[in-house]
């Protein structure tokens, strides 16, 4: 869902437009029911916190 219509003048311009679109379309602070009504940022932080307590298996 890019806002830009037409041809980009450079690769940098295209990258900026894609990054902007991802930031606005995929709002990482919005709560999601599939994540237990946590934001993706909070879900990821909780996951990494949980994984940090798991023992490391050495084989």
Contact present, 21 and 1 (Cβ < 8 Å): yes
| Confidence at residue 59, expressed as pLDDT on a 0 to 100 scale | 67
Token look-up 């690769």 returns: 11
User: What pTM was computed for the model?
Assistant: 0.48
Tokens of 51: 């994984």
pLDDT digits (tens, 9 = 90+) for 11-47: 999 899 888 887 777 777 788 888 899 988 899 899 9
Q: Give residues with Cβ within 8 angstroms of 40, minimum separation 6.
A: 28, 32
**C-alpha–C-alpha distance, residues 55 and 9, integer Å:** 51
């Amino acid at each position: 869902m890019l806002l830009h219509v037409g041809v980009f003048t450079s690769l940098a311009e295209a990258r900026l437009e894609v990054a902007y679109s991802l930031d606005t379309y995929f709002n990482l602070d919005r709560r999601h029911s599939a994540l237990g009504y946590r934001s993706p940022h909070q879900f990821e932080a909780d996951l990494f916190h949980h994984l940090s307590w798991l023992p490391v298996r050495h084989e």
